[in-house]
Amino acid sequence: MTDLFANFGPEARALWGHHDVKLRHRLHERPLFGDEQLGRVLDAIEPHQMAINTMGRGGHDVRTWSYCQRGDLSGKQLIDAVRQGRIWINVTSVHNVVPEFGALLDEMFAEIGAQVPEMKVIRKSMGLLISSPNAQVFYHADVPGQSLWQIRGEKRIYIYPNGEPFLKPKDLENIIRGRTEEEVPYQPWFDAHARIYDLKPGDMLHWPLNGPHRVQNADCLNISLTTEHWTPAIRRHFGVQYGNGLLRQHGYTPRSASTDGLAAYAKCGLAVAWRLAGQQKRQSFKRVMRYKLDSREPGFLVPLDRQPEPMLQAAE
């Protein structure tokens, strides 16, 4: 038994990286996640490290997923806005700003590595999620290896197969290349093929690479951590998918996504050259702000004074 996990046994070790793994952890017992402590964390975060979003109240309408400016709210006021509004805050790379979270990230992967020694992590990161009662995150897929750690509140997460028709190669390539953020086309009938998990404080869920998923909060404030990791295999997968996307952009339909052989190395080299040439930044999506947070307003959201624009706008 480890200090962090309650039930990381042989079954979880065999499934890790290949299938969903739901475990129990003890992070929610630690004094890092109260409102006062989290308010101080938010006060230390630079704007570029914090994505603040709002979304529609019903259905799966990705057009309602909108970016918000923080305004002049303090960290404590931000948490109050989340508790009373319909807001999802994602603090990226919190481990680089708050030493306690950096130490926690090292501890988490030390214990995972002890259980899954064949997983050679070459890069890792942590995000902090603070989200409103009944908030949701629409259907999307992430690029690196992912785990979700529930600290406070409850949520339901739907995990879908990471292949067609749930995740088409072109859509994954666009996510990896940054041409779209993380969104993937969704059909309601996909839900019949989802694995559904209800997460409570002390639950952790890990799922296969690039597995599409969506999240629905229960009627309570939610605090969660996300961890991301890269291995040599995940990095090769990234390079091949990136290279395939470039080939597709230039009129050639890739026939393979294999990470082995000379073709895979050529695709990875193409991806590196493209990024070094500055083309990644030129073609990446840009966030467009639609709202500003204001503690004087009901729901804390004030539309910005300009004509409506697309949520994500690709650079020409």
Percent of the chain residues topping a pLDDT of 90: 79
Q: How far apart are CA 178 and CA 285, in angstroms?
A: 6
What's residue 232's pLDDT?
Answer: 96
Indicate if 50 and 173 belong to the same structural domain: yes
Distance CA 90, CA 142 (A): 14
4 domain-assigned? no
**Is the four-CA dihedral 293, 201, 19, 259 of positive or negative sign?**
positive
d(CA 78, CA 94): 16
Does residue 270 share a domain with residue 296?
no
**Total count of domains within the chain:** 2
User: What amino acid is encoded at 58 in this protein?
Assistant: G
d(CA 300, CA 285): 27
Q: Does residue 312 surpass a pLDDT of 70?
A: no
- The per-residue pLDDT for 58 is 78
Choice among 59-73, 91-105, 273-287 with the minimum mean pLDDT: 273-287
> What predicted TM-score, i.e. pTM, was given to this entire model?
0.92
**What's the pLDDT score for residue 260?**
93
Range of the domain at 261: 232-283
- Half-sphere exposure (Cβ direction) of 165: Cα atoms closer than 13 Å: 8
Residue 307, pLDDT > 70, answer: no
pLDDT level of residue 26 (50, 70, 90 thresholds): very high
Question: Mean pLDDT of all residues in the chain?
Answer: 91
pLDDT in tens, 211-220: 999 999 999 9
**Are 160 and 279 in the same domain?**
no
CA triplet 114, 115, 118: central angle to 5 degrees?
Answer: 80
Secondary structure element (H or E) that encloses residue 40, with its range: helix 35-43
Residue 27, pLDDT > 70, answer: yes
pLDDT band at 182 (very low <50, low <70, confident <90, very high): low
CATH code of the domain containing 147: 2.60.120.650
Look up tokens 């979700």; give the residue.
148
